[in-house]
Structure 1
Amino acid sequence: MAFRSNISTNLTNQFAQPAWRVALWSVAYSTVLTVAVLGNLIVMWIILAHKRMRTVTNYFLLNLAFSDVSMAVFNTLINFVYAAHGDWYFGEVYCKFHNFFPVTAVFSSIYSMTAIAIDRYMAIIHPLKPRLSAKATIGVIFIIWGLAVALAFPLCFYSTTRVLPRRTLCYVSWPRKTVDSFMYHIIVMVLVYALPLVIMAITYTIVGVTLWGGAIPGDSSDNYHGQLRAKRKVVKMMIVVVVTFALCWLPYHVYFLVTGLNKDLSRWKYIQQVYLSVLWLAMSSTMYNPIIYCCLNSRFRAGFKHVFRWCPCVHTSSYEELELQNRGLRPGYQSSMGTSVLSKDKSVRVQGNRPRLDPQTSPSV
């Protein structure tokens, strides 16, 4: 991984381990790769192939899925191979990319979640204020990636390989007079973990108090309760996504803080197994989001059922077949959260004394 630049430079390879243990870890990491790639590609297809899914929140979810699938493809197994054997087989060019890309992808992932949290806050607390357009949303995504590249660039610039008699190392050779691995990790941990989590904690706390603690601004007539349920569902789903990400990456950051403060731990007998464990947990964050979407959102669930409709145990109903279609294909009206709500009176589409959010620009899922 990008920060593991304190690997021992001994001539012997202290990271060699029994074949059976490597096989078990291989199964664990291969599972992450398979589920993450398949699940996130399906999420990307659901959003890109259905106009109804092209909303502000879903554009950010698309970026999140792209970041996760890229991390899984380019880093998960490579990280495992290097961590399991302590020998770099992939050349200096890929060494630079290998150290550079994880920080970039994680930055893009967590700030996509942060953008969703802020957009949810604006949609629920200030529903009458102008919303992000599709073009503006894409612009924000490009800004996120630009900042991610800038933050991770030093890892690419200072990465190098070193050939020893029995193995090759890939590490970040920091200039000692300016910055070191531990200092850089502190900076990254603050910018890519602590700060966005604090922002999301504040915004979702305010949104949660508003949604579950009293009346929300917006429609107050027949569709009020449908709107409220829809908003709650989306917020619940995003809170689960954020908490899952935070729990998966916490042990990884703690590991580098502890080993950075106590260098002797890098020579501990079981440190490699600890590192493989925290690395697996961090990499596994790439595979949970599609599962969360499928479990907590009816439209994503309909999309997954459509993909796996060939499986005998998957059954789709006519209602689910319409979930991803255009609004005109089904009765009722579209709530501001992008969740279909049937009115008691089918002749009534949208009522209320306040303007309804445009479903194309609202952060719906």
Structure 2
Amino acid sequence: AMHTLGAEYAVSFSILFSVLTLIGVVGNLLVIVAIGSDRKMRACIMNILLLNLAVADLSNVVLAMGEWSPAVFIGRPLWILPDALCPINRYLECVFLFTSISTQLIVCLERYIATIHPMRARAWCCRNTALKAVAIAWGLAAVFALPYALHHQVIYRGSDRHCVNVALNQSWWLAFKFVEFIQYFVCPCAIIFIGYSKIASVLWAKNPVGIKSDSAHMVQSGSEKQLATRRTVVKMLVTCALVYFCCYAPIQALFLTKSIFKLRYHPNYEVILLLNVFAVTCSASNPLLYTLFSTRFRNRLKTLLFSSERSDRYSSVANGREPVRAVVTRRNSCCENSSCVITRPCLSTGAKYPPVPKCLYCL
């Protein structure tokens, strides 16, 4: 039967999708510009990963418009783009989704090493390793999503065109979807849950005697401000992971009920659109979480959007007025974040290389 959307639902969904898409596009673009335009921010491992996550989420939000816009503005799911874009669009959607969750997994592993094995983080969590991990994530996603490109095509029902999966009812497709369910939902969520649980047990430990020596040393030597900063970062990342789980758990539950448990449940089209709302919400929420949790990211956005203060600072130097504070530079000496590899000035306060709790360019 042809799916149709009532007028009352069409208005609600059109507003909801439009707002989420606007937030997702603007928010992720700001993340990309904020990090991508600053060489020092790009040198921080965490920022490289968050930049990659923003690229994947932005692309996913933009491509999703091709699916939901006909449904809410025309009233039924049609394919309005050229036929050749049907398999490409669906393929790229999956690539960006798989890359997004893979990046969150890489972020968790990086935080795990930096927290549980801080003495090894400088060797393991270097810029080259992060770039290789990101490249592998994109490569695996591109290969794994190939069946979507090979088995999606446009079919005609009267004058209407629909982008459909022609292999949907074949047994091998069920096996493929089950592997996808394990690889890109169960395993990442399980690893992220275990990893952040271990990280939290270290950062919130009242007595570090019972934990490993290197992480115990980090807790004992860190000031309250340093620990608070680390805890805030972990809270932000855990919230991002929880948003992913909550947004995609209903979709995976529907897959399990229909495919694995063979329950004959055919959701209304409004339910299907609501699941798409969850997916767009997941891609649009991360920039809001960065802004909510990260003071440094908020400051970077202020500098990016209102750069008069930065311009005045540079012009004072250009006009011959010396900065008030002297600066010295030493690689890796000014940031307690062991994964940060930038060279940045340290404020001179009498000590040769005064410590800074956390690099100003690291989110």
Normalised by the length of structure 1, the TM-score is: 0.79
- RMSD across aligned positions (CA): 3.4
Aligned equivalent of 1:107, options 98, 103, 106: 98
Tell me which of 150, 175, 186 is aligned to 1:157: 150
The corresponding residue for 1:265 is 265
Change (3 A) 1:82 1:153: farther
Cα 1:171–1:218 shift into 2, 3 Å: same
2: CA distance, partners of 1:228 / 1:348? 23
Change (3 A) 1:109 1:40: same
Aligned positions, number: 327
Name which of 269, 279, 296 aligns with 1:282.
Answer: 279
Aligned twin of 1:291: 288
Q: 1:86 aligns with which of 53, 59, 77?
A: 77
What is residue 125 of structure 1 aligned with on the other side?
Answer: 116
Partner Cα separation in structure 1 for residue 278 and residue 255 of structure 2: 14
User: Corresponding residue for 1:36?
Assistant: 24
> What is the CA deviation profile of residues 94-132 of structure 1, one whole-angstrom value per residue up to 9, with x for unaligned ones?
110222122211111111111111111111111111133
Aligned equivalents of 1:221, 1:160: Cα separation in 2: 59
CA distance in 2, matches of 1:233, 1:141: 24
Q: 1:303 to 1:351 in 2, by over 3 A?
A: closer
Decide whether aligned partners of structure 1 residues 79 and 192 sit closer, same or farther in structure 2, where only a CA change above 3 A counts. farther
The aligned amino acid for 2:80 is Y
Aligned to 1:66: 55
User: CA, structure 1 residues 297+177, in 2 after alignment: closer, same or farther (shift >3 Å)?
Assistant: closer
8 A contact 1:87–1:169 mirrored in 2: yes
Quote the residue 2:195 is aligned against: 203
One-letter amino acid matched to 2:41: M
Say if 2:226 is the partner of 1:227: yes
Question: What SS is found at the alignment partner of 2:4?
Answer: coil
- Answer yes or no: is the 8 Å Cα contact 1:46–1:303 preserved in 2: yes
Using the alignment, how far apart are the partners of 2:104 and 2:28 within structure 1? 15
The answer to whether the 8 Å contact 1:226/1:335 transfers is: no
- Quote the offset at 1:79 in angstroms: 3.5
Q: Take 1:328 and 1:51, find their aligned partners in 2: how far apart are those partners?
A: 19
The alpha carbon displacement at 1:348 in A equals 4.6
Amino acid at match of 1:52: K
Amino acid at match of 1:226: K
Aligned residue number for residue 313 of structure 1 = none
CA drift at 1:147: 0.2
Is contact 1:67-1:108 (8 Å) kept?
yes
SS of the residue corresponding to residue 304 of structure 1 reads helix
Superposed CA deviations along residues 146-176 of structure 1, whole A, max 9, x for unmatched, are 0001110011011112111142221111286
TM-score (norm 2): 0.79
Q: Which amino acid aligns with 2:198?
A: I
Q: Give 1:107's aligned amino acid.
A: F
The amino acid across from 1:79 in the alignment is W
Q: Which residue of 2 aligns with 1:3?
A: none
**Residue-by-residue CA offset, 1:185-217 (whole Å, 9 max, x unaligned):** 322221111110111111111111011114344
Superposed, which structure 2 residues align to 1:162-241 within 5 Å? Answer: 162-174=155-167, 179-180=172-173, 182-213=174-205, 214-215=207-208, 216-218=215-217, 224-241=223-240
- Measure the CA separation in 1 of the matches of 2:57 and 2:126: 24
CA contact (8 A) 1:33 1:77 kept: no
Tell me the distance in 2 between the aligned counterparts of 1:328 and 1:247. Answer: 46
In structure 2, distance between residues paired with 1:126 and 1:160 = 49
Q: With a CA cutoff of 8 Å and minimum separation of 6, indicate the structure with the bigger relative contact order.
A: 1
Q: In structure 1, list runs of 5 or more residues that go unmatched.
A: 1-9, 311-315
Q: Secondary structure at the match of 2:124?
A: coil
Q: What amino acid sits opposite 1:225 in the alignment? A: E
What residue in structure 1 maps to residue 12 of structure 2?
Answer: 24
Q: Distance between the aligned counterparts of 1:220 and 1:152, measured in 2?
A: 42
Shift of 1:133: 2.3
Bigger mean CA offset, 278-287 vs 182-191: 182-191
Distance 1:347 1:50, change over 3 A: same
C-alpha contact 1:68 1:286 (8 A) present in aligned 2? yes
- Structure 2: give runs of 5+ residues left out of the alignment: 209-214, 315-325, 341-345
Q: CA deviation at 1:346?
A: 4.1
Partners of 1:248 and 1:281 within 8 A in 2: yes
